[in-house]
Amino acid sequence: MADIQVLDKTFVPFISKEEICQRVAAIAAQINIDYAGKRPLMLGILNGSFIFAADLFRGLTIDAEISFIKLASYKGTSSTGHVVTAIGMEEDLHGRHIIIVEDIIDTGKTIHSFLPELKHRQPASIRIATFLAKPEALQHDVKADYTAFEIENKFVVGYGLDYDGFGRNLPDLYVLKG
């Protein structure tokens, strides 16, 4: 595989689509076991997770649903701190088994800020599936239950992840050169 250019930056091949496919299949297989008979609702966080969510969902052989939300973040009051609100969450989550699907857990801020709103809707359980995690960058007490790859604290694109809106359609994952 060759280096690629996304806008003004050069990226080098990092994780191939074959390796990605294997890990996603392994996670799907585990979810099939863990959630048999539970009819989980996968909740994909847009935009970044849409490709991972689609591949993961196709790997499920159990009864399962999928829905997508966008998270809008704003500064709350000094007592509430950073607040994240979900746009497009129309399902009744009460009593449901939720699997949040993320592209990457970096600092953990997004998920950490979103969990209270999600818990408020009283789901039966919440787990997190993330395509990538950067343990070195983590600043909040968030741990994914299913992680395809743990990576170094470097900027990556492809497989749904973007650089300034571009690069999401790359089937393989690339890392910023340098």
Q: Does 172 bind ligand 5GP (CB under 6 A)?
A: no
Q: Does 44 bind Mg ion (CB under 5 A)?
A: no
* 90/36 Cα distance (integer angstroms): 24
CB 125, CB 145: distance < 8 Å: no
Q: Write down the least CB distance from residue 8 to ligand 5GP, Å.
A: 15
| Whether residue 145 lies in the annotated active site | no
Helical ranges in the chain per DSSP H: 17-34, 50-58, 109-120
Residue appearing with tokens 């250019």 = 5
Q: Write down the least CB distance from residue 31 to ligand 5GP, Å.
A: 20
Give the residue, chosen from 108, 147, 148, 173, that forms a contact with ligand 5GP under the rule CB under 6 A.
108
Q: Does 123 bind ligand 5GP (CB under 6 A)?
A: no
The residue annotated as part of the active site, out of 106, 162, 164, 172, is 106
* 100/35 Cα distance (integer angstroms): 14
Using CB under 6 A, which residues numbered 127 to 166 contact ligand 5GP?
A: 155-157, 161-163
CB 133, CB 156: distance < 8 Å: no
* 84/91 Cα distance (integer angstroms): 18
Segment contacting ligand 5GP (CB under 6 A): 19-27, 34-42, 55-63, 105-113? 105-113
Q: Write down the least CB distance from residue 127 to ligand 5GP, Å.
A: 16
Residues known to be catalytic: 106
